[in-house]
Amino acid sequence: ATLAAFIGAGGLGEPIVAGLALADSRMILSGALPAAALALAVDGVLAVAGRLVAPAHRRHTP
């Protein structure tokens, strides 16, 4: 999502790119924080999905 802004496709990266151009840290954070939250949420969902589909004898709990 954030990389799309560099090619003009918009997305969550648009405020990051604009903030970098304007040297505005608040604008950068307005795009970076939601992008980070989205990445963490997707990672959590995929981790749970991975545990659910793994065979019982291959599951390792850290």
- pLDDT exceeds 80 at position 19: yes
Q: What span, in angstroms and rounded, lies between the C-alpha atoms of 5 and 32?
A: 12
Q: What is the value of pTM for the model shown? A: 0.71
Phi, psi of 34 (to 5 degrees): -65, -35
SS3 54: coil
Residue in the structure block whose two tokens are 């970076």: 32
Query: Cβ(5)–Cβ(30) under 8 Å?
Result: no
Nearest to 16 by CA among 25, 8, 7: 25
Using one digit for the tens of pLDDT, what is the confidence trace for 22-59? 999 999 999 899 989 999 999 999 999 998 888 877 76
Six token digits for residue 25: 């840290």
